[in-house]
Amino acid sequence: MNERRSRLADARQLAGEAHCVERNWMGACPTPQPARVFLKRLLVKSSMFVLRWRSSNLNLIDMIRRRRVIVAVISFCFASSLGGNPALGAEADSFAYDWRIMESCDTMDLFIRDQHVGVLHHTFRADSLKEHIHVQTKITVQGGAKAAGASAMDLTETYCYNLSGELLSAEQELISPAGRTLWELNSDSAGEWVLGVTTGGETKKKNVLEVKDNLRSEYRMRRGIVRRTFEKGDRLRDTVFNMMAGKHTCVVAECIATPEGKEGGRWVFISRDEMLGREERLEMDSAGRPMLQEISPLFVARRRSGSEEHRRHAAAGALSDLFVIRKGLRPKGTTVHVRLDDDIVLDDSVGLFYNATDSGYLLIRLPDSCGEGGGNSGGSAYLGATVTMQVDHPEIARLAQRLKKDMASSCDIVSHFTTYVHTAIEKRNVATFSSALETHRAGFGDCGEHAVLLGALLRAAGIPARVVLGLVYVPEKRGYLYHAWVMALTGEKWVFSDPAMGRFPVAEGLIPLLIDDTGEKAMLLGKMMGRVEIAYK
């Protein structure tokens, strides 16, 4: 354990050194620049009116990491072509690696539909003394706090590899004004992988059967770019373990254009991630420097240009408008019809709310009244603690019992708890996915924080509850925005409660797309963004 912590500490120290050197593939080296970039990471939720995802969340880094093949290309285009160094070489699969050709340090600006939202910083360092490779990505997202220029979210992601390119350990730290979440992936003395998630000061661990994650395919691609042997039509397939999702994903990248000696010519790659099912574009100039990178579903990273004044002005824009699905108010007597792109299917978790049609899914009339009695038959599976709902924590348990008092009706309990969360939690957009305990302690958050806190309190009071992600109709926006709320079992009936908006029971204006009690499935919502159509029939 001490050795693993030492490796990660070394990686953070290397990535945070006072200067970094940016080189192109020919080895040209400009004046060293300060590498003072705060770590951070972008979850789509920071830009939304009320939705807040977690790994959701659609996190930028999360998305980058899930499709590390794109990060691989970034590494390649940030890197320099240096001479061989036996200390940095390694034999694996009968292939000699000189990891120094991948060493890099660069910064790109992040945009959502031409509005600046943050900064991405990436470093790749090979440490010959400790025989380790350190790869770190940092993202800063501005806004979200009351102070002008404050960051809404910080994410640092650090991966350590041996000189054969095999993963040794990994760490992700996500920080916002509402709290801190830490993911740690390590192998124990028996060689078994363990994934730990710490949020609200509580740590949950689970075993991972296998971790398929190495740098070798990325190295071969980088070498092909450096030597100009990579050709149009060449492909790279990579398997990456994503810590936030807790599983592997496969990424395929294809070169669709090469510089070919043309002035202004660019390398162009298209990658596809099986988890998101989207294509992303990466462009580099002829020297191998990154110029543009798409990060699904809405983000674009561009090489720094333009004035700081312009970037600050853009960052202050009303980003919530970028996520609206424009649609008028549903006329009486009509039913909501949801249509998804052809390669997307509705998640099974919300199947009970829809009837499938040839062209999509017809939303069944949702329950808008409580069930009778205090029973909760069939809901025992939704009473336990999760990473985001610390039901068994003393602070949550005490608060639940204080609120419940001697109430026996499940309907009364849900109504009272919904009112408490709505009034006790300040409405503030938060870019990260805070847990119930963090939300309780911080006292603020957006719809996601409201939902996980209400869900945890209800479970602690003996009421089965689940977190729902989907769409809510907002009249002021004249359309639907991504949102999070709760479904609770009252008597024998599941009913929706919206603590962020203080509504219970509620059905009108809600379109459920996903039920996710742990945050591990929320990335599926990112897969749907920009690919959902709403009609009234």
- Alpha-carbon gap, residue 240 to 219, rounded angstroms: 15
- In this predicted structure, what is the pLDDT of residue 431? 61
Q: Looking at residue 518, what is its pLDDT? A: 77
Instruction: Look at residue 34 and tell me whether its pLDDT is greater than 70.
Output: no
Chain Cα centroid distance, residue 439: 19
Q: Give the mean pLDDT of the chain.
A: 74
Q: Is the pLDDT of residue 118 over 60?
A: yes
Whether 145 has a pLDDT exceeding 60, the answer reads no
Q: What is the predicted pLDDT for the residue at 143?
A: 58
* Helix-helix angle 447-460:410-424, to 10 degrees: 140
Tell whether the model's pLDDT for residue 140 goes beyond 60.
yes
pLDDT band, residue 57 (cuts 50/70/90): very low
Tens-place pLDDT, residues 217-252 = 888 878 888 888 888 898 888 887 777 777 777 888
The average pLDDT across 14-41 equals 29
* CA dist., res. 253 & res. 273, Å (int): 9
Token digits for 120?
């991405």
Per-residue pLDDT at 10 exceeds 70: no
pLDDT, residue 344, reads 82
From the number of C-beta atoms within 10 Å of its C-beta (0-12, 13-18, 19+), residue 291 rates as middle
**Predicted pLDDT of residue 285:** 80
CA distance 196 to 169: 12
Average pLDDT over residues 33-39: 25
Listed range (62-71, 104-113, 302-311) with the worst mean pLDDT: 62-71
33: confidence class by pLDDT, cuts 50, 70, 90: very low
Can you give the pLDDT at residue 312? 43
Which tens digits make up the pLDDT trace of 169-183? 999 888 877 677 888
Contact 59, 244 (CB under 8 A): yes
Most confident of 16-25, 54-63, 216-225: 216-225
Among the listed ranges 8-22, 304-318, 432-446, which one has the minimum average pLDDT value?
Answer: 8-22
Q: State the sign of the Cα–Cα–Cα–Cα dihedral 245, 467, 332, 356.
A: positive
| C-beta separation of 63 from 275 below 8 A | no
Residue 6 vs residue 476, higher pLDDT = 476
CB contact at 8 A, 405 and 484 = no
Residue-wise pLDDT tens digits, 464-496: 999 999 999 998 888 999 899 999 999 888 999
Give the global pTM.
Answer: 0.65
Question: How far from 186 is each of 65, 71, 221, 347, CA to CA, in Å?
Answer: 17, 22, 27, 31
pLDDT in tens, 158-170: 999 998 888 999 9
pLDDT at 276 (0 to 100): 67
Does residue 22 or residue 455 have the better pLDDT? 455
pLDDT exceeds 70 at position 21: no
Give bridge partners of residue 221 from the DSSP assignment: none
Q: What is the pLDDT of residue 402?
A: 95
pLDDT of residue 144: 44
Q: Please give the distance of CA 331 from its chain centroid, rounded to a whole number.
A: 35
Average pLDDT for 328-355: 88
Which residue, 132, 123, 149, 140, is CA-closest to 35?
123
Least confident of 295-304, 363-372, 442-451: 295-304
Burial code (b: 16+ CB inside 10 Å, e: under 16) for 213-223 equals: bbbbbbbebbb
Residues 133 and 421: their CA atoms lie apart, in Å, by 46
Candidate from 61-65, 140-144, 337-341, 465-469 with smallest mean pLDDT: 61-65
pLDDT at 382: 92
In the prediction, which pLDDT does 401 show? 95
| pLDDT(462) > 90 | yes
What is the C-alpha to C-alpha distance for residues 500 and 506, in angstroms, rounded to an integer? 12
Q: Does pLDDT of 361 surpass 70?
A: yes
Mean predicted confidence (pLDDT) in 191-214: 83
Q: What is the predicted pLDDT for the residue at 522?
A: 65
Order the strands of the 336-340 sheet from edge to edge. Answer: 354-356, 361-363, 336-340, 532-536
pLDDT cut 70: percent of the chain above it: 72
Phi-psi region of 509 (alpha: psi -120 to 50; beta: other; left: phi over 0): left
Residue of 511 and 277 predicted with greater confidence: 511
pLDDT at 263: 61
Checking if the pLDDT of 516 tops 50, the result is yes
Can you tell me which residue has the tokens 């990535």? 15
